[in-house]
Amino acid sequence: MIFRLMCVAFIAASTAAFAQSNTIAKYAAAPPPLAITLRTGFLSQIPSSKIVFDKIQTEMSVGYFAAVSDEFNCTQNPAVAIYDCGADHSCANGTLVASVTLTASGTLASETPSGAVIAGGDYYAWNISGQCTALDINAKAALSGP
């Protein structure tokens, strides 16, 4: 009888351990979410050209785009945008991927762009427009692969 109880307890513990390790493996196997972010720090004026250039290695879709400002003193609401610059690292003629307009400090502005893609091997850049004497922006573009 004791042997039978020990076997049942072992089987129950083994089943629970397998279920837990299977759940952990399921979450560990999921790729982490991808995003490109912009953190400006305090700005006393808006940059006059696109900023923070980088390159995407493989084609990525932009599924969600959001920005918020921690500091906000503006006479014209600032817009935050991300551009696909193609092979041009200066992004003189980039294609708009997504854009949001900020209206107040601490207020999230977001959009879910439809069909927004940054092609593999292309540069991307951020752009801020508006009239501000104090601004601190956090922006994020959530990406997904092909």
Residue 62 shares a structural domain with residue 129 = yes
- Mean pLDDT for 57-71 is 92
Q: Are 64 and 144 in contact (CB under 8 A)?
A: no
Q: Whole domain around residue 102: which residue ranges? A: 34-144
Residue 98 shares a structural domain with residue 50 = yes
Residue 66 shares a structural domain with residue 122 = yes
Residue 33 pLDDT:
63
Which are the contacts of 72, defined by CB distance < 8 A and separation ≥ 6?
102, 104, 105, 106, 132, 134, 135, 136
Residue found under tokens 């502005």: 109
- Does residue 27 register a pLDDT over 50? no
Residue 19 shares a structural domain with residue 65 = no
Render pLDDT for 102-136 as a digit per residue (tens, 0 to 9): 999 999 999 999 888 999 999 999 999 999 999 99
Which are the contacts of 17, defined by CB distance < 8 A and separation ≥ 6?
none
Q: Are 122 and 57 in contact (CB under 8 A)?
A: no
